[in-house]
């Protein structure tokens, strides 16, 4: 069973909480130690200042030297004690006998604590000891009269006071730490909500899965994909795109390069600048032709990049040839099936009328006529796809009661490049279809297709017996979408012109003397050379 992952918001709250708590605990400990030392140091300084003041007092010195002045020591120290708020001030002689004490009945008795030894030997000291007034922080200062030590003074501050001051400081530190933790938790919650909003509510595991799926999808598609950022630098190239680039001789791994440095024929910078998409545009990369779509990428109505999808145009041409061949085969079968069915009806009628002599003549005519047409095309046109296409058009024309004649003035060899067959089929097919449409309103329905090959050029004439074209129509007939036959038409001759331009040919339109229209096409047609 897969372990359930913790939510991003919970992870952020816990992580921030731990970080804040750790920082505050460490800070609190450091501050607490500093405060402890500061409180103790302050108490020590206070006791030292008081003891030094007492030690330099003439009243105290006189009371230690003259017995009649001892009472003044108690009065003086009591007054100082009340002003300085210390626990006790004890003045003692060199034998440790008290000359002053907060409790007068203890005057004349020996000082207790055991830590007075150093001061009676002339050394000031600090100690923490327990005496008759409890545990206290004590400051000892020797009293001198000139160079002779005549006694010592001990000033004590109760440890309860020191600990209470430290406890008060610690309480403030703890309150500050708790407040800091609460602020950290609230900040973590707000931060987690903000991050989740930016990520559209997705968890890191979901983002990783989505990224993996998108990357797999991008790498698996057959189309090449290239994306650039706002600065025109490449940030995505899928495997299909890299294969096409390698075929065009471009270097591998273009990530991070300016797109214009990688391939100068690109138009992605234009899309970035204008924000207008481009569809089905042809691009040449070192002689390799690709068909490209380019679109800008928007985030919050701002262009952040552009993406280009493309395919090798050679592959698309091959696919088009296959589709044309299938379509031609289907049209041929349909036309021949319809034509054959009509002839069967004629044969059936003659059989019922028992006109056997006429039936024999009819069948002979069909056999001889069909064989003669097919043999003529197959003999003179060596390209099987083009020959089959024309045979199919013959059947289609007969179905529409149109007399289509294929006139081969010379033998037409196979072309050197297979894509040329596709373009010729597009040209001849659309010209024949256009002529068939023009014969819809006339009684004489004739179309002549004349083919001639000479010095690696193919000459094609398509002549019909229609009404002909006006000068205005001749100027516009190759425009995309222009038609006199209604809406959603006007693409056939546009495709003819596109194919002629691709193969660097030319086309002219003339009106023969007997009316109608003649399209004359001349295209370069290099012959395929057979290996000896």
pLDDT at 532 over 60: no
Lowest mean pLDDT among 101-110, 352-361, 382-391, 438-447: 352-361
**What pLDDT does 148 receive?**
87
State pLDDT tens for residues 257-291: 888 888 888 888 888 888 888 888 888 888 777 88
Half-sphere exposure of 52 (CA within 13 A, CB side): 10
pLDDT at 489 over 70: no
Mean confidence (pLDDT) of the chain: 79
Give me the mean pLDDT over the 389-397 stretch. 79
Give me the mean pLDDT over the 220-247 stretch. 85
* Residues linked to residue 522 through DSSP beta bridges, in sequence order: 459, 506
Where residue 1 falls among pLDDT bands split at 50, 70, 90?
Answer: very low
**What pLDDT does 87 receive?**
80
State pLDDT tens for residues 327-359: 555 665 565 566 666 667 767 777 777 777 776
Say whether 5 sits in a helix, a strand or coil: coil
**What pLDDT does 338 receive?**
60
Q: Which of 97, 49, 54 is closest to 75 using CA atoms?
A: 54
Q: What is the DSSP string of 222-284?
A: SSEEEEEETTSBEEEE-HHHHHHHHHTTPPS--TTSBHHHH-TT--HHHHHHH---EEEEEEE
Q: What phi, psi does 285 have (nearest 5°)?
A: -115, 100
Asked if 126 and 48 touch (Cβ cutoff 8 Å), the reply is: yes
Cα 169 to Cα 176: distance, rounded to the nearest angstrom: 11
Lowest mean pLDDT among 5-9, 30-34, 245-249: 5-9
State pLDDT tens for residues 61-78: 888 888 887 888 888 888
Give me the mean pLDDT over the 145-161 stretch. 83
pLDDT at 192 over 80: no
pLDDT at 428 over 80: yes
- Two tokens, residue 427: 């040209």
Q: 193 or 346: whose pLDDT is higher?
A: 193
Q: What is the DSSP letter of 527?
A: B
Q: Of the segments 140-144, 176-180, 235-239, which one has the largest average pLDDT value?
A: 140-144
Give me the mean pLDDT over the 96-107 stretch. 86
pLDDT at 252 over 60: yes
**What pLDDT does 522 receive?**
92
Give me the mean pLDDT over the 7-36 stretch. 75
pLDDT at 223 over 80: yes
Q: At what angle do helices 384-399 and 313-353 cross, to 10 degrees?
A: 40
Cα 449 to Cα 432: distance, rounded to the nearest angstrom: 8
**What pLDDT does 524 receive?**
92
Lowest mean pLDDT among 74-78, 146-150, 332-336, 390-394: 332-336
Q: 275 or 323: whose pLDDT is higher?
A: 275
**What pLDDT does 373 receive?**
66
Q: What percent of the chain has pLDDT above 90?
A: 3
**What pLDDT does 368 receive?**
53
Cα 498 to Cα 288: distance, rounded to the nearest angstrom: 19
Q: What phi, psi does 200 have (nearest 5°)?
A: 55, 40
Instruction: Output Rg (C-alpha) for the chain, integer angstroms.
Output: 55
Q: Which domains does the chain have, with CATH numbers?
A: 11-165 (3.30.450.20), 223-313 (3.30.450.20), 401-524 (3.30.565.10)
Asked if 282 and 292 touch (Cβ cutoff 8 Å), the reply is: yes
Where residue 520 falls among pLDDT bands split at 50, 70, 90?
Answer: very high
pLDDT at 24 over 60: yes
pLDDT at 2 over 70: no
Q: What percent of the chain has pLDDT above 70?
A: 80
pLDDT at 122 over 70: yes
């Amino acid at each position: 069973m897969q372990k359930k992952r913790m939510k991003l918001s919970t992870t952020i709250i816990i992580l921030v909480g731990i970080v804040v708590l750790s920082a505050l605990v460490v800070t609190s400990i450091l501050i607490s130690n500093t405060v402890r030392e500061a409180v103790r140091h302050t108490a020590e300084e206070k006791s030292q200042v008081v003891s030094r003041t007492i030690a330099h007092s003439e009243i105290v010195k006189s009371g230690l030297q003259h017995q009649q002045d001892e009472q003044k020591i108690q009065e003086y120290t009591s007054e100082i004690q009340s002003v300085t708020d210390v626990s006790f001030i004890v003045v003692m002689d060199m034998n440790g006998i008290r000359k002053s004490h907060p409790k007068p009945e203890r005057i004349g008795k020996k000082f207790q604590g055991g830590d007075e030894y150093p001061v009676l030997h002339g050394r000031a000291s600090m100690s923490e000891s327990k005496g008759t007034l409890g545990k206290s922080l004590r400051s000892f200062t020797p009293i001198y009269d000139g160079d002779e030590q005549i006694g010592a003074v001990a000033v004590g501050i109760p440890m309860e006071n020191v600990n209470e001051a430290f406890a008060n400081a610690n309480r403030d530190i703890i309150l500050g730490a708790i407040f800091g933790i609460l602020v950290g938790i609230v900040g973590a919650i707000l931060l987690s909500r903000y991050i989740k909003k930016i990520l559209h509510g997705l968890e890191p595991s979901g983002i990783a899965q989505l990224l993996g799926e998108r990357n797999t999808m991008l790498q698996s598609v057959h189309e090449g994909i290239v994306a650039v950022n706002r600065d025109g630098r490449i940030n995505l190239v899928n495997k299909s795109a890299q294969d096409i680039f390698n075929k065009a001789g471009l270097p591998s791994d273009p990530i991070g390069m300016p797109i214009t440095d990688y391939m100068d024929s690109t138009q992605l910078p234009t899309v970035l600048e204008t924000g207008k998409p481009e569809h089905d545009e042809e691009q040449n990369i070192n002689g390799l032709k690709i068909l490209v779509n380019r679109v800008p990428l928007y985030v919050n109505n701002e262009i952040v990049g552009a993406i280009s999808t493309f395919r090798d145009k050679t592959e698309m041409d091959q696919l088009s040839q296959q589709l044309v061949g299938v379509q031609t085969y289907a049209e041929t079968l349909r036309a021949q099936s319809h034509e054959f069915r009509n002839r069967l009806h004629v044969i059936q009628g003659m059989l019922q009328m028992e006109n056997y002599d006429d039936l024999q003549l009819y069948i002979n005519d069909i056999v001889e006529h069909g064989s003669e047409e097919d043999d003529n095309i197959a003999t003179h046109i060596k390209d099987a796809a083009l020959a089959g296409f024309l045979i199919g058009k013959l059947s289609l024309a007969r179905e529409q009661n149109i007399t289509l004649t294929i006139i081969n003035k010379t033998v037409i060899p196979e072309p050197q490049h297979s894509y040329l067959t596709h373009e010729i089929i597009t040209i001849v097919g659309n010209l024949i279809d256009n002529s068939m449409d023009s014969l819809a309103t006339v009684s004489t329905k004739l179309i002549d297709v004349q083919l001639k090959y000479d010095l690696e050029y193919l000459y094609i004439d398509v002549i019909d017996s229609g009404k002909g074209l006006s000068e205005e129509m001749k100027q516009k007939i190759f425009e995309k979408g222009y038609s006199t036959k209604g809406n959603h038409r006007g693409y056939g001759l546009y495709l003819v012109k596109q194919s002629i331009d691709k193969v660097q040919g030319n086309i002219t339109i003339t009106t023969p003397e007997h009316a109608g229209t003649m399209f004359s096409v001349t295209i370069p047609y290099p012959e395929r050379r057979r290996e000896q």
